[in-house]
Each structure stands twice: as structure tokens, then as C-alpha cells.
A and B are shown apart, each in its own frame.
Chain A
């Protein structure tokens, strides 16, 4: 059997998996009756509905011809990994990880790290431009978020401020 549209095929599978998981999870809660719905009623309904929709999409993807085969195409691993890890590293540096006693480095260090990691997602990045950009962003964020909006951030590393 040929997959006529890759995108739709996997999209349908995703809906089926997620819908099934929700429906299964919902059935472990009290479902109740229409007049007295338990916490499981509505999610069970929706979970089953999503599974059915997913099945229908997968089915059409196998049957109906699509122009160009609805190819998913290459996955952009590089931007994906750099952008997401920039975000995660920012979180770790900003507030630290108490679970493994990783100290908080504060906002300024976190901004430099985020800007550099995120910039690497693009092929033509240059050290100097990125350094300038990071400095502009760090100073700008300090003025906008800490001084003007008075949001509560750890700004400097915790082992310096104490």
C-alpha cells in the first residue's frame, strides 16, 4: 500500500495516538452519566472523536491522490536543536537547577548564552555581530524589564549577590 500524502498520513497517526491516549486516560477517571458528568466524560468523548478524525485522515492519505505526494521534507535539525536549546539553557542559567545544586547565573549571563546559541542556528553567524547583538539585548532587557517594568528576575549570578 502506498502513502499518497505523507503529511496527512503522519498527522492522522498523531491525532490517533494523542486521541487514544486522552481517551484511555479519561476512562481511568469517573465518567458518570449525561446528567451528572464525571471528570472523565468530556475528555473521553473528545478523545474518541480525535481518534476517529485521525483514522479518517490516515485513511484518506492512503487513498486520495495528492499533488507532489504531500512530502514532509527534510527536518531542519540545526535550527530546531539550537533554538530549543537556547531556550532551555536560558532557563537553566537564569534560575539555576536546585535539584542538582546548579547555581543561578542570572539574567545577564543567560541573555549572552541565549543569543549565542540561537545565532548558531544560522549558517552565516559571526562572533562580533552576535556579541554586539547580545550586549544590546542585555542592556535593553535590563532597562525595559528590570528598571521600567520592575519584573522580578535574578539579574546577577547568585554566588556574587549572595
Chain B
């Protein structure tokens, strides 16, 4: 079996002491930022990107991936104990998780989230291992027209994912695409929109945008709100293990959440947040056993399903990145950046040209998930203590790490001035209710889209119909159109707005 040989190659890479160490480090850091509200995986990964220069590429990617899925575990802890989503994908976990904590059942809730996440993470890893090779085969059939169509589909997916107005999200994508075009045009050598500033001919670094908008913008916005009254259920975490009845209730919910999360994660624009919302909605529709605690009052299924789904989704969202080189969400966009700084061009060729990296990363995800269960369940006490750190001690440290990280990308103060500008822009976005995640995705895809559009039209001698006459490309565009139509249907539109109200 190919799968077995591939996975054994992966495990042989992932089980080296240095990679185990970085996986562990990533998981710890991921849990940490997951637990702490106000800092997310996007800002953290952006901050750490420069620090990974010195590492071997496999170790760097293993660590960054660990931060992403680790944050999904940590986010649930805060959601259950403090009723604050540590991560945006844990928003729905708050609803039933916090109610369970109030009834003195914080332990089973945490266990349901942890065990569900572990199961989902393992399944997600297996799915990547099984589906990546055939998808890679398919990717080799892709021409420029298909790639362009796929990116359009991906960007439409990102719009569906964004909360709030669809039109604004489209605007943010286009703005991101435009910002991505700043710098030297590869085909003609013309420095576009660079105002004769030498630093701008290389384009704007995406680390600068990510940190400015997601780091500084968020901090400023957080500081303008009065600090939340945090009611932490520290003393009440006793009896971690769920009862037999709990297991019976949560097992099917975990299975459903995993299936739904895995499917939604693969979709462009999908990922942890969408998966969690969808899983909770599905669980509410399914009738439980008679006499079950109603939803919203501490139903264990309302914790297990979304937590499994967000973990499965965060795992399978690696599939488009690893097979097609196309990031389905903002975190994956940063992973593209991480691969590029290590001179690895993301795309279908990664699996054949860097098999150690490809399978090592996949194997490390399973190891990381196993570490996370241990980190999050028996050691829960440590994380609870962290929740008592006030924000006023936290945010200067975040500002510092952003500044240091941004300086060390190029050892140049130019980036520090740029991140200041994007910090202000990020705050403006928040004030205007424009979500920045689609912007980052557009920014990464901008140059790729232009390149593929140019090539496609060059090959077709300027005939735009090439996008609809090639079956694969037509299919992808049709899927994109279908997605748009579905979202715009009144029934779905209302549901979508409802789902994001809790955001």
C-alpha cells in the first residue's frame, strides 16, 4: 500500500527529536494563543514567520501548523470556562459549553471538546494522507485557465465565509488583489504603484499586512472596549471524565461533526469557523434521546460536534494548499508565505519534489494532535491560570513581538513604518465593519491570478471563452456561480446572517 509507505516515511521524519520538539513547541504556543482571547493564529504565525528562517523547512512548517490546530484546542477551553471565544471558531462552543460549566460540568465539557478534537484531528490527518495523492494527480491536468477558475472559486468561498455584507467582502478581496499587485511586474519589469520607492518595488510584505491589520488593528480595537468581567470557573473543574451516558450522547455528535468539518475544510473558503457553525446547526436539527438537556442549556452534543468539526476543518484545509498550492483561508495564506521563504513553491510538485516535507508535515499533525490531548486535559490547570493574566500586561508584549518580527523579516526599518500604516488601516477596517481575512487571501492570490489569467489568454489568443470551453475550468466556475447563488437565496441568506450574529 502506498499510503502505508508514505505515512511511514512521514513518521520517520516527524519522529526525529528536533521535529518532535518543534511540533511540541507549536502545540504549546497554539494552545496558549487559543486560550488567550485577543490574539489569534493569523497574527501569531505572522509574528513567528521571520523566526523560522533559521530552521529547516520541515521543522518550520511543522511548528507553524501546530500553532494553527493547537489554537483550535485552546480556544475551546476559554469558551467553556469564561464564555469568551478564545478563537473565532469556538464561538458556538460558548453556548452550551459555558452552560455546562455553570452547572459544575466543566470537566466533561472540556473532555468532550478535547477527545472530540483528537478524534477529528486523527481522521482529518488520514483524509489528507488518502486524498492528497489523487488530487495532486488531478492538479497536474490543470492549465492556467483552470488555475484562474479555481482561484475565483476560492475567493468566492472566502466571501461566503466572511461575516457581514457580501458586497463588502468582495470589495476587500479586490482591494487585497490590488495590494498584491504593487511591485515589479514579472512580465514587463515595470515597477507598478511603487512611487519610486526602492523598497516598494519588491511589493508589500504579507507579514507586514498580516501583522498590521490582524495584530495592531485588533489590539487598538480591543483596547477601546472596557475589559470584560471575566468569571472563571477554576475551582469547579473536577471530575474530568464524562459519564457513560455522556459518551453515548457525544459519540454520534463527534462522528457527524468530523464528517461535516472534513468536507467543509476541503472547500475553498472553508476551514474551522464555517465547520463549527455548520456542525452546531446540524446538531440542533437532530433529535436527541428523550430527557436530554436542551440546546443552549448545556447539551454535551453542542460542545462535542462543533469542536470536532473545527478541528477536522482546520486539518483538511491543508489539502488545497498541499495539493494545488492554493490557500483556502488566511492561515493557509500565511503557510504559503512560510513555504516561499524556504524556497518551496507550493503546488502539486511539492509531494514529488519534497516527499519528506510533505509526508513529514502530515505525520506531525497526528503526533501534534496526540500531544494536544495530553496538553489540554491533564494539564488544564496551567491554562486556566493563564486566563487570569490581564490584557494590560499582554498587549505591550504582542506589540513588541510584532515589531521585532516585522523588523527581522528584512532587517530593515522600512517594514516597521509600513506595519504602522497598516495598523491604522486595520483599525479603519474594523471601524467600517469590513472583515480583513478576505483581503489577506486576495493579497496572496493577486499575483498568481494575474499570471494565470495572462497565460490563459495568451494561449487562447485573447479569447475569453477559454474559461468556459475547457470542461474543468467551466466546472470550477460553475461551482463558484452556484455557491454565489446559494448564498444569495433569501432562505440561506437569512440563515447565514443569523449564524454570524453571535460573532
Given contacts A11-B433, A25-B193, A137-B400, contact A46 B174 (CB under 8 A): yes
- Count of B interface residues, CB-CB < 8 Å: 62
A: interface residue count bin = 35 or more
Chain A CB within 8 A of B296 CB: no
Chain B CB within 8 A of A2 CB: no
**Contact: B220 with A152, CB < 8 Å?**
no
Enumerate A62-108 residues with CB–CB distance to B below 8 Å.
70, 72-76, 78-80, 83-84, 86-88, 90-92, 94-95, 107
Q: List chain B residues, Cβ under 8 A from A155.
A: none
**Contact: A50 with B178, CB < 8 Å?**
yes
**Contact: B168 with A84, CB < 8 Å?**
no
Expressed in whole angstroms, the minimum distance between the Cβ of A124 and any Cβ of chain B is 7
Report the separation of the CA atoms of residues A38 and B403 in the bound assembly, to the nearest whole angstrom: 37
Chain A CB within 8 A of B142 CB: no
Given contacts A22-B178, A47-B178, A87-B416, contact A54 B423 (CB under 8 A): no
Enumerate A31-45 residues with CB–CB distance to B below 8 Å.
33-39, 42-43
Name the residue on A nearest B181 (C-beta).
Answer: A43
Most buried by B among A18, A25, A34: A34
Of A57, A72, A137, the residue contacting B168 (CB under 8 A) is: A57
Q: List chain B residues, Cβ under 8 A from A87.
A: 216, 399, 402-403, 416, 419-420, 423
**Contact: A91 with B392, CB < 8 Å?**
no
Expressed in whole angstroms, the minimum distance between the Cβ of A18 and any Cβ of chain B is 6
**Contact: B399 with A39, CB < 8 Å?**
no
Chain A CB within 8 A of B29 CB: no
Q: List chain B residues, Cβ under 8 A from A107.
A: 404
**Contact: A57 with B219, CB < 8 Å?**
no
Chain B CB within 8 A of A3 CB: no
Expressed in whole angstroms, the minimum distance between the Cβ of A21 and any Cβ of chain B is 9
**Contact: A145 with B431, CB < 8 Å?**
no
Report the separation of the CA atoms of residues A92 and B414 in the bound assembly, to the nearest whole angstrom: 10
**Contact: A149 with B174, CB < 8 Å?**
no
**Contact: A35 with B462, CB < 8 Å?**
yes
**Contact: A29 with B190, CB < 8 Å?**
yes
**Contact: A133 with B396, CB < 8 Å?**
yes
Enumerate B415-430 residues with CB–CB distance to A below 8 Å.
416-417, 419-420, 423-424, 427-428
**Contact: B174 with A50, CB < 8 Å?**
yes
Given contacts A80-B220, A88-B417, contact A119 B431 (CB under 8 A): no
Please list the 6 inter-chain residue pairs (A to B) with the smallest Cβ-Cβ separation, ordered nearest first. Answer: A35-B462, A76-B224, A91-B416, A34-B462, A79-B223, A39-B185
Binding site for B on A (CB under 8 A): 7-8, 10-11, 14-15, 18-19, 22, 25-26, 29-30, 33-39, 42-43, 46-47, 49-50, 53-54, 56-57, 60, 70, 72-76, 78-80, 83-84, 86-88, 90-92, 94-95, 107, 111, 114-115, 118-119, 121-122, 124-125, 129-130, 133-134, 137, 141, 145, 149-153
List 18 A-B residue pairs with CB atoms under 8 Å apart, sorted by A's residue number.
A7-B433, A18-B178, A19-B178, A33-B462, A46-B177, A60-B167, A70-B433, A76-B220, A80-B427, A87-B402, A88-B417, A91-B413, A91-B416, A94-B407, A107-B404, A119-B392, A153-B404, A153-B407
Besides the known contacts A42-B453, A145-B408, 6 further A-B residue pairs in the complex with CB atoms under 8 A apart: A7-B431, A19-B178, A22-B178, A25-B192, A91-B407, A141-B400
